[in-house]
Amino acid sequence: MKRRNFIKKVGTGALAVGAGLAVKPRRARAAGKHKTYNWKMVTTWPPHFPVLGESADYIAKWVEEMSAGQLKITVYGGGELVPPLQVFDAVSSGTVEMGHGAAYYWAGKHEATQFFAAVPFGLNAQGMNAWIISGGGQELWDELYARFNLKAWPAGNTGVQMGGWFNKEINSIDDLKGLKMRIPGLGGKVLAKAGGNAILVAGGEIYTNLDRGVIDATEWVGPYHDYKMGFYKAAKYYYSPGWHEPGTTLECMVNKQKFEALPKHLQAIIEAACAKSNIWCLSTFEALNEIYLQKLVNEHHVKLRTFPDPVLAKLKVMTKEVLDGMAAKDPFTKKVYDHYMDFKKNHDAWDVISEERYAKLKHL
């Protein structure tokens, strides 16, 4: 073979090999970009439950739309795939990829979870968003949930809730003694300190328990939801304010390993969908609550009541005792508690000269 022909053939072969090497990474990248994922999300709410369950449905819808179908999420209401209060375990273990609920349901896993849902006499919705999103709360949440192979974000907020439905008037702190009330989280611990019996049941079971006298009282969310739940048929008195849940954050959680295995753009899409849901939930409650409060009063003659100031003052003292006791038992709980309260102190100071003073203008 002549030297010139040999070099020509070798050069052609080298170009072919080089072209092959150049093409393969592009094909690999393309395959990764267009690989489809089919995930499951379980929730603590009944299927397609107004606002709360709808939030989970919307997150799935928005993720699929934003990913052009690359990530599809099938949503299961509480009890359809796993019981409502086993969502945490199902996502943590990887049985399913995602879950939707509220962090105070997992107090049995770690006391500090409750700070990422609601604290009695604590931050309202605006404050919770500020603390979690921009005040360092998300980093603490990440640190805690990483212990359970989880990652979570705010995915909604109820705003200030109502104080609950009762079959007797609450005129003094003694009226709470022996009271069997459905109330989750830290509010339940405070009620127990006041001598009541805090009972945790999933949303779909509350009305039946109240109607049959299994419980004497219940809190839930606010007028829109409470109207839909039909609580006015089973209790006479509707109390405010929701001292126990001044701005309850809802969460969307994912299995951490499975989340980190996703392409970065799909991770970002999930976070974006949760952020959109966070705004949508609070906006929906704020838009509908007064409309349905008027329905409760005018159509069903519900008796609105306000907790007496001495009762609220005593509950506030008990709340601090409960929180101090929790912090004394566990270093991480103390870390979260101290961080939360430091943030709240600054937030309250600003609130006094902004929101609070503006609210007084309504009475001019």
Integer Cα distance of 250 and 148 in angstroms: 18
Question: DSSP string of 188-251?
Answer: HHHHHHTT-EEE---GGGHHHHHHTTS-SEE--S-HHHHHHHTGGGT-SEEEE--TT-SSPEEE
- Domain shared by 115 and 262, yes or no: yes
- Domain shared by 43 and 78, yes or no: yes
194 within some domain: yes
Query: What pLDDT does residue 12 have?
Result: 45
Query: What pLDDT does residue 97 have?
Result: 98
CA distances to 203, 211, 246, 319 from 302, rounded to whole Å, are 21, 16, 22, 29
Domain that holds residue 305: 164-246+297-342
* Residue 14 pLDDT exceeds 80: no
350 within some domain: no
- Domain shared by 50 and 65, yes or no: yes
328 within some domain: yes
- Domain shared by 109 and 187, yes or no: no
* Residue 171 pLDDT exceeds 50: yes
Quick: pLDDT tens for 213-238.
999 999 999 999 999 999 999 999 99
- Domain shared by 196 and 308, yes or no: yes
- Domain shared by 129 and 168, yes or no: no
14 within some domain: no
Query: What pLDDT does residue 203 have?
Result: 77
- Domain shared by 320 and 195, yes or no: yes
Query: What pLDDT does residue 32 have?
Result: 53
360 within some domain: no
53 within some domain: yes
Sorting pLDDT into bands at 50, 70 and 90, what band is 258? very high
Query: What pLDDT does residue 18 have?
Result: 42
Query: What pLDDT does residue 33 have?
Result: 62
- Domain shared by 135 and 254, yes or no: yes
Q: How far, in whole angstroms, is CA 69 from its chain's centroid? A: 26
- Domain shared by 202 and 310, yes or no: yes
- Domain shared by 216 and 170, yes or no: yes
- Domain shared by 241 and 251, yes or no: no
347 within some domain: no
- 187: domain CATH number? 3.40.190.10
- Report percent pLDDT > 90 for the chain: 88
- 280: domain CATH number? 3.40.190.170
Query: What pLDDT does residue 323 have?
Result: 98
Quick: pLDDT tens for 307-341.
999 999 999 999 999 999 999 999 999 999 999 99
Q: 41, 56 in Cβ contact below 8 A?
A: yes
Quick: pLDDT tens for 18-30.
444 444 445 444 4
- Domain shared by 262 and 238, yes or no: no
| Domain count within the chain | 2
Torsion of CA 8, 13, 16, 21, to 10 degrees: -130
Amino acid symbol at 259 = F
Q: How far, in whole angstroms, is CA 256 from its chain's centroid? A: 17
214 within some domain: yes
Integer Cα distance of 296 and 230 in angstroms: 10
